[in-house]
Amino acid sequence: MIKKIVLLGSGNLASQLGPALLRSGAELVQVYSRRITNAQKLAKQMGCPATNKVEAINTKADLYIFAISDGAIQGVAEKLAEQLPKKGKFIFAHTSGATPQLVFKGLVKNYGIFYPLQTFSKDRPADFSTIPFCIDGNLKSVRTNLTKLAKTLSPTVSLITDEQRAVLHVAAVFVNNFTNALFGVGKEIIDEHNIPFDLLTPLILETAKKIQKNAPLTMQTGPAKRGDQKTIQKHQALLKNRPDLTTLYQKLSELIIQQHKK
């Protein structure tokens, strides 16, 4: 069973996941971050020690959760594995959507994935009861233990392979990162004309609500969906001083038109 946990990371996800694990009854025994001030700040919330040195990481934990940047996972894991028993019962698990679990292969006996599918910010509390967890592991026992831990946080826990998670991550970039960037574009446009962004927020919320029970394509509206070239041309004229946005508008309109030709 997973009892003692070391949390590696102090960023957006770690800052939300650590306290959530503590509230669920898990014992957080240490926080690691390459920046000691960040590690100390998060560790203070959970009443445990902090370190910025891999060689000082607690070696008695049952689970080491790597909530660090994708590019840092392998290097930190290699250093940490050197000071732990090769065939120990502990588990290495990372929270990345894009990195395969095989990043741990050959380093430790037990390893897997502990991936909450959500966007996180340090200053915005996360409700883990609404967040799906994607779990995987190199052994059945690993999958079982990580699933049990995830279920203390969320009722929605799925076994997802590396290949499935990679596809899921790409889709997540489209529905979250790209749409958020488009929200930013919308704000730029109306800011130039001193129009409050609050006028758009009900539309954003309704768009998200619609697709909770309906296929996105069936909920599509707007000039491109209608084939309203006159309105499209007017919009592009309004964007004439921003050729980058004119091109983006045209490409997205073409995407919508093609989607509804199928």
Q: Are strands 4-8 and 63-66 parallel, antiparallel or unpaired?
A: parallel
Tokens of 83: 């000071």
Q: How do residues 72-81 score in pLDDT, each as one tens digit?
A: 999 999 999 9
> What is the distance between the alpha carbons of residues 261 and 219, in angstroms, rounded to a whole number?
15
Length reported for the chain: 262
Token output for 183: 């929200």
Average pLDDT value for residue range 1-28: 96
Q: What is the mean pLDDT of residues 25-48?
A: 97
* CATH 1.10.1040.20 residue ranges for the chain: 166-259
pLDDT at 252 over 80: yes
pLDDT of 87 reads 84
- Chain-wide mean pLDDT for the chain? 96
**Which residues in the chain are classed under CATH 3.40.50.720?**
4-160
CATH class of 166-259: mainly alpha
d(CA 239, CA 231): 13
How many secondary structure helices (H) and strands (E) does the chain include? 10, 8
Question: Between vectors from CA 126 to CA 120 and to CA 127, what angle results, nearest 5°?
Answer: 140
Q: How far is Cα of residue 118 from the mean position of the Cα atoms in its chain?
A: 5
Strand-pair partners of 94: 66, 113
Coil vs helix vs strand at 89: coil
Backbone angles phi, psi at 122, to 5 degrees: -60, -40
- What superfamily would CATH give domain 4-160? NAD(P)-binding Rossmann-like Domain (3.40.50.720)
pTM: 0.91
Does the pLDDT at position 1 exceed 90? no
Residue 86 has pLDDT above 90, yes or no: no
Q: What is the pLDDT of residues 130-142, one digit of tens each?
A: 999 999 999 999 9
Give residue-wise pLDDT tens across range 57-77: 999 999 999 999 999 999 999
Count CA within 13 A, CB hemisphere, residue 33. 21
What is the spatial distance between Cα 62 and Cα 102, in angstroms, rounded to a whole number?
19
pLDDT (tens digit per residue) in 151-186:
999 999 999 999 999 999 999 999 999 999 999 999
| Spatial CB neighbours of 186, under 8 Å, sequence gap ≥ 6 | 197, 200
CB neighbour list of residue 115: distance below 8 Å, 6 or more residues apart: 94, 95, 96, 97, 133, 134, 135, 160, 165
Residue 262 has pLDDT above 80, yes or no: no
Q: pLDDT-derived band of residue 261, with 50, 70 and 90 as boundaries?
A: confident
Burial (CB < 10 A; 0-12, 13-18, 19+), residue 19, is middle
Q: Which residues pair with 113 in a beta bridge?
A: 94, 136
Write out pLDDT tens, residues 203-215: 999 999 999 999 9
Q: Write out pLDDT tens, residues 89-98.
A: 999 999 999 9
